[in-house]
């Protein structure tokens, strides 16, 4: 018996294609209920639509037929369908008594099937439990993928991704954040509306303001649902280069691009350097580990993206390029504390737990740094090698910053500029908190260092390392320089990630690598 050629099988969800008819159905759904929806909501609607189509096809084929269940009573002439036989359809042509003392009274029906005329018998009015009694009438006993939750659990994300691809290439739909809506149904906002938004943000220092704070000034039609008003306003602001969406994930906040700090719009000169693109094969395990612990944003060329996880706090070993720029690196580790989102620039607030003071901070995700710390660094006299703690707070969008440990006076490496060169001495200085022993370099005169920097910023790091090595080596009885120390010292004048620097120094005349992150300076090699 072969009913498969006429019976609609289950849908191949693994390879489901999103068709023009599907997009048309989505447009009609928005016409019926004009509210923006997420890609997941639309994907679920699409799945439900396909399931309804399949059920309608099956019901049409089974019109006038009754579901066979062993427990039910039947009459001659009734048409039945049998889910466990691929929904074959047949007519009851005879009924007789069944005989089995262990079961009790029941009937046997004779059914002639319509596809090939086969005559078969089945138990009816059967008094004992049977698995065929539990079938739902549209689903075979071993058939899966006929309920929305089943389909979503197994294939939902793949279907959503394919739907997103179609929506993004369609001229009929607009995306704002993670919500979609038909372009033709948006509330129209003209140039006067956008000019008014610009004026409002200007009065508020550039922002940030949520769309809910802007809407009351625009007098949009009152009969338009508020979610659609918000969506339409966000869509219009996205299209206008004057405005920048700077909210963390889950929030929309608007800012005037022309009023954003220059350090947010362009990478500060002190941070500009060439990302490391090597494999690290030329470095031993110790140097690779040290480079990972330094956590330089130039060490990994890939962009930082949302979804890397969250942490309660991270500790960063301060470096001079970031101290001079008022920034901190945005790496895969530090990004677990700072707010991320769909945009490349995100506005938040720093908080000093000692004073309670708050001030603006910016995540510049596209260039992998966080801006807004210059005054705080200067007020606390933070030095390269100090341990800076960034903590999440219970309040979304507020990040606490503080130094780890207490201030103390100690013997430390001190960098000074003398006759156009950097020299190093071991001197007693008041360090504002705990620090990395190998990485701390106290800068006595930042102004003199900044005056020297233009002469070195474009020169080879190897040349600067050769100049700094003797002075650094003279600070230890063994005449050695640790990789952390060298990295901090070279980055006083040249921006370079640790991997690139360590590869430059390997085999450099005048020094020998001893292993475990140490080089020894040889006077005769100078």
pLDDT in tens, the chain (526 residues): 444 445 566 778 888 899 999 999 999 999 998 899 999 999 999 999 988 888 888 788 778 888 899 999 999 999 998 888 878 889 999 999 988 888 889 999 999 998 888 999 999 999 888 888 887 766 665 555 567 888 898 889 999 999 999 999 999 999 998 899 999 999 999 999 999 999 999 999 998 999 999 999 998 888 888 999 999 999 999 999 999 999 887 789 999 999 999 999 999 999 999 999 888 888 999 999 999 999 999 998 777 777 677 888 999 999 999 999 999 999 999 999 998 877 889 999 999 999 999 999 999 998 999 999 999 999 999 999 999 999 999 988 899 999 999 999 999 999 999 988 999 999 999 999 999 999 999 999 999 999 999 999 889 999 999 999 999 999 998 889 999 999 999 999 999 999 999 999 987 888 889 999 999 988 644 4
Tokens of 195: 């000019």
Residue 305: per-residue pLDDT: 73
DSSP 517: T
Instruction: Return d(Cα 502, Cα 526) in angstroms, integer.
Output: 18
Closest CA to 206 of 264, 263, 254, 266: 254
Closest CA to 8 of 69, 81, 87: 87
Q: Strand, coil or helix: what is 424?
A: strand
> Could you tell me if 407 and 433 are in contact, meaning their C-beta atoms sit under 8 angstroms apart?
yes
Tokens of 337: 């504390």
Q: How far is CA 179 from CA 164, 228, 330, 516, in A?
A: 11, 11, 28, 52
Closest CA to 305 of 372, 371, 368: 368
Residue 526: per-residue pLDDT: 41
Instruction: Return d(Cα 141, Cα 39) in angstroms, integer.
Output: 32
Instruction: Return d(Cα 176, Cα 160) in angstroms, integer.
Output: 17
Instruction: For residue 164, count CB atoms less than 10 angstroms from its CB and return exposed for 0-12, middle for 13-18, buried for 19 or more.
Output: middle
Residue 110: per-residue pLDDT: 94
Residue 286: per-residue pLDDT: 94
Alpha carbon 501 to chain centroid, angstroms = 31
Residue whose structure tokens are 């262990």: 102
CATH 3.90.56 domain position(s) in the chain: 409-525
Q: What is the 3-state secondary structure (H, E, C) of 60-116?
A: HHCCCCEECCCCCCCCCCCEEEEHHHCCEEEEEEEEEECCCCCCCCCEEEEEEECCC
Contacts for 264 with CB less than 8 Å, ≥ 6 apart: 345, 362, 364, 371
Alpha carbon 2 to chain centroid, angstroms = 50
CATH 1.10.10 domain position(s) in the chain: 186-260
- Kindly compute the dihedral angle of the four CA atoms of residues 38, 43, 48, 49, in this order, to the nearest 10 degrees: 100
DSSP labels, 172-203: TEEEETTEEEEGGGSPP--HHHHHHHHHHHHH
Topology, domain 409-525: Phenol Hydroxylase P2 Protein (3.90.56)
How many residues are recorded in the chain?
526
Closest CA to 124 of 58, 187, 67, 167: 67
Instruction: Return d(Cα 327, Cα 313) in angstroms, integer.
Output: 17
Q: For domain 186-260, give its CATH number from 2.60.40, 3.10.450, 1.10.260, 1.10.10.
A: 1.10.10
**Number of H helices and number of E strands within the chain?**
14, 23
Rounded to 5°, the CA angle 422-426-432 comes to 95
Q: What is the 3-state secondary structure (H, E, C) of 297-318?
A: CCCCCCCCCCCCCCCCEEEEEC
Strand order in the sheet with 66-67: 66-67, 79-82, 88-97, 107-113, 119-124
Residue 142: per-residue pLDDT: 55
Residue whose structure tokens are 């705990």: 434
Instruction: Return d(Cα 248, Cα 170) in angstroms, integer.
Output: 27
Residue 139: per-residue pLDDT: 65
Tokens of 66: 């009754």
Q: How far is CA 293 from CA 274, 290, 460, 480, 516, in A?
A: 19, 5, 24, 20, 14
Strand pairing report for 442-443 and 408-418: parallel
Instruction: Return d(Cα 152, Cα 138) in angstroms, integer.
Output: 19
């Amino acid at each position: 018996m072969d009913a498969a050629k006429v019976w609609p099988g289950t849908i191949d969800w693994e390879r489901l294609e999103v068709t023009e008819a599907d997009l048309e159905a989505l447009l009609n759904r928005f016409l019926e209920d004009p509210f923006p929806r997420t890609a997941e909501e639309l994907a679920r609607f699409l799945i439900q639509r396909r399931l309804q189509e399949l059920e309608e096809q099956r019901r049409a084929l089974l019109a006038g037929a009754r579901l066979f269940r062993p427990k039910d009573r039947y009459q001659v002439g009734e048409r039945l369908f049998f889910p466990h036989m691929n929904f074959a359809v047949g007519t009851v042509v005879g009924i007789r008594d069944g005989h089995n003392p262990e079961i009790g009274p029941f009937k046997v029906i004779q059914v002639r099937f319509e596809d090939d005329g086969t005559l078969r018998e089945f138990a009816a009015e059967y008094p004992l439990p049977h698995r065929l009694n539990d079938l739902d009438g549209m689903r075979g006993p071993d058939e899966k993928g006929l309920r929305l939750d089943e389909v979503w659990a197994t294939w939902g994300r793949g279907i959503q991704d394919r739907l997103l691809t179609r929506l993004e290439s369609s001229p009929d739909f607009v995306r704002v954040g993670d919500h979609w809506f038909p372009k033709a149904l948006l509330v129209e906002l003209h140039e006067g509306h956008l000019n008014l938004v610009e004026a409002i943000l200007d009065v508020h220092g550039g922002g940030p303001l949520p769309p809910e704070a802007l809407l009351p000034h625009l007098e949009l039609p009152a009969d338009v649902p508020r979610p659609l008003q918000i969506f339409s306003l966000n869509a219009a602001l996205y299209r206008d280069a004057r405005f920048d969406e700077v909210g963390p994930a889950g929030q929309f906040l608007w800012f005037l691009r022309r009023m954003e700090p220059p350090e947010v719009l362009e990478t500060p000169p002190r941070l500009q350097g060439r990302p490391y693109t090597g494999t690290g094969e030329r470095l031993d395990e110790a140097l690779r580990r040290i480079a990972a612990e330094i956590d330089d944003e130039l060490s990994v060329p890939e962009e930082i993206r949302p979804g890397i996880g969250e942490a309660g706090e991270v500790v960063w070993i301060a470096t001079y390029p970031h101290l001079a720029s008022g920034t901190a690196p945005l790496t895969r580790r530090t990004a677990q504390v700072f707010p991320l989102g769909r945009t490349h620039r995100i506005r938040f607030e720093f908080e000093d737990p000692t004073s309670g003071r708050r001030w603006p901070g910016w995540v510049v995700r596209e260039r992998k740094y966080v801006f807004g710390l210059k005054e705080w660094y200067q007020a606390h006299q933070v030095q390269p090698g100090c341990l800076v703690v960034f903590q999440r707070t219970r309040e979304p969008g507020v990040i606490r910053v503080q130094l780890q440990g207490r201030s103390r006076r100690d013997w430390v490496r001190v960098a000074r500029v003398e006759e156009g060169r950097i020299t190093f001495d071991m001197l007693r200085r008041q360090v504002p908190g705990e620090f990395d022993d190998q990485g701390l370099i106290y800068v006595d005169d930042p102004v003199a260092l900044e005056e020297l920097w233009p002469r070195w910023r474009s020169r080879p790091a190897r040349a600067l390392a050769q100049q700094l090595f003797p002075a650094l080596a003279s600070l230890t009885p063994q005449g050695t320089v640790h990789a952390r120390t060298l990295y901090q010292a070279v980055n006083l004048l040249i921006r370079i990630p640790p991997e690139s620097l360590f590869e430059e120094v390997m085999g450099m005349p005048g020094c020998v690598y001893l292993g475990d992150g140490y080089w020894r300076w040889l006077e005769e090699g100078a």
